[in-house]
Structure 1
Amino acid sequence: MKRNVRNVVRGAVALALAGAVLTGCGEEEAALSTPASPAKPSQSGATAPAAKGSAVGAAGSACTLPVAFDLAAKWKAKPVEPEAADSPLAGLSKQGPFTMACEMDAKPAGNVGFMRAWTEDAKSGTPRSVLEAFVGANKNASKATYEEIKAGSLPATEVVFETYNKLMDESKQERALAVVTPKGTLVLHLSGLDTQEQTEMLPAYELAKSSMKATP
């Protein structure tokens, strides 16, 4: 029964997410999710590498960011324009001190979910403290497990955590990594409709992580 419900919701959300970027954020947060058991960040479960598509982050790409990285084939990136402070959508593009700068959509590749790049102007601090601030700003986040890693050649910290959907009384697994560069701080966050979608998108996330480099 849950599988049937998931399929119905997956189709409905796929249609709803065809609208504006921030509308997509709202629909995803309200969607059905399945229980998740937290795993160590290194235990990604990605079984096959993703085919490489375009790159994002460098000047002239879809989004200009403190780092550049490869996207999986068919994933589509677009910049997120900041909302006015009095807009009802303004909160969706902010998480603590971080502002959503770029949204990478998995729908063209067959999944309901996103990678989102969040930036902050700080050029100092540790990736761990950055990531703790990002996760701590989400009141629905819990069971966070952190690990020091490399994102390409950059020192980074990665986290796996759960978010709770009060409406559905369900949790789902998400993950993120943080890097600090001379051009600013970046958090790359992977979130799907549910834990199964996130698992299916992990090869794309791993490709982005392994190819990451600071932009000049």
Structure 2
Amino acid sequence: MNVLVGAGAAGRRAGCAVVLAGVLAACAPQGGDDAKATAGTSAPAAPAVRSGGSLGAKGSACELPVAFDIAEKWSAEAVDAPLHQGPVTLACEIDAKPAGSIGFLRVWTGRPGDDSARSVLEAFLAAEDGVSKERYRAFTTGGLSGTEVEYLARNEMLDETKQERALAVTTPQGPVVLHLGGLDTGEHRSMVPAYELARQTLHTG
């Protein structure tokens, strides 16, 4: 303090600046550039969902080239009427209504070929009207390599866009697409944990 008093106003200002700098340094977050890079980038993990059993194997509600777990209370049913979208045909619908949500996790299958999972998924979306803001990424699970996409789809009935997502893998029996829609974005988000369960447990049947 003696130094600050003897130095006059200029000395006091300089001393205050030093003290203020020390306080700001002590309060600043540690980690440098790494702290800046990670700030605000983490998202909360999707809530866990219990498995209601496996689907896809022989004797299950839907026999498929792959198998995966479905969420508890969701109801699966094979689809007989042919409904095509791009290179795949609807094979199974897994209904979320018994679990309290409005929407389906749908499984589409195709014929064997040389197309990659990415090209199958791109063709699947190209056959749907009103698709925008697609974000693709690769993933691996259960010995399978695939491609996943999140996007916006136009809901003409509600006159709004809503979030949807899908994934594709290829197998010796042909490509498989899992698609999660929903009545609207809120319903879609409520069903994402069931979709994540299917993706994380996906393997060849």
Q: Would you call these one fold, judging by a TM-score over 0.5?
A: yes
Deviation at 1:82, TM superposition (A): 2.0
C-alpha separation between the residues in 2 aligned to 1:173 and 1:44?
17
Answer whether contact 2:129 2:154 (CA < 8 A) is retained.
no
Instruction: Find out whether 1:156 has 2:146 as its counterpart.
Output: yes
2:104: which partner in 1?
114
Q: Which position in structure 2 is the counterpart of 1:80?
A: 79
Q: Residue by residue, what CA displacement relative to the aligned partner does 1:31-71 show, whole Å, maximum 9, x if unpaired?
A: xxxxxxxxxxxx98652221011211111100011100000
TM-score by structure 1 length?
A: 0.72
Task: Count the aligned residue pairs.
Answer: 164
Question: Do the aligned partners of residues 46 and 99 (structure 1) sit closer, same or farther apart at CA in structure 2, a change above 3 Å counting?
Answer: farther
| Structure showing greater Rg | 2
Q: CA deviation at 1:183?
A: 1.3
Secondary structure of residue in 1 paired with 2:181? strand
Q: What is the letter of the counterpart of residue 141 of structure 1?
A: V
Aligned counterpart for 1:98 among listed residues 79, 88, 102: 88
State how far apart, in whole Å, the 1-side matches of 2:45 and 2:113 are. 31
Amino acid paired to 1:70: D
Aligned counterpart, 2:62: 63
In 1, the alpha carbon distance for the partners of 2:203 and 2:135 equals: 24
CA deviation map 1:120-174 (0-9, x unaligned)? 0124321111100101110221111100111333101000011112343200000
Q: Give the Cα separation in 1 of the matches to 2:114 and 2:99.
A: 36
Contact 1:112–1:193, Cα closer than 8 Å, also in 2: yes
Tell me if structure 2 keeps the 8 A contact 1:46–1:199. Answer: no
TM-score, scaled to structure 2 = 0.76
8 Å contact 1:45–1:202 — kept in the other structure?
no
Q: Distance in 1 between matches of 2:116 and 2:104?
A: 25
Between the aligned partners of 2:44 and 2:130, the Cα distance in structure 1 is 24
SS of equivalent to 2:80: coil
**What amino acid does structure 1 have at the position aligned with 2:161?**
S
Identity value in percent: 51
Contact 1:124/1:180 (<8 A) preserved = no
Change (3 A) 1:193 1:116: same
Residue 98 of structure 2 aligns to a residue in which SS? helix
Secondary structure at 1:192's aligned position in 2?
coil
After the TM superposition, list the runs of 4 or more consecutive aligned residues in structure 1 that deviate by more than 3 angstroms.
43-46
Comparing both chains, which one has the higher relative contact order based on Cα–Cα distances under 8 Å and sequence gaps of 6 or more?
1
Deviations 1:62-121 (A, max 9, x none): 0011100000100110000025xxxxxxxxx21122110000000001100100000101
Aligned twin of 1:139: 129
Q: Cα RMSD between the aligned structures? A: 1.6
User: What amino acid is the match of 2:126?
Assistant: G
Report whether the alignment pairs 1:177 with 2:167. Answer: yes
Q: Does residue 51 in structure 1 map to residue 32 in structure 2?
A: no
Q: Which residue of 2 aligns with 1:191?
A: 181
Which of residues 124, 138, 156 in structure 2 aligns to 1:166?
Answer: 156
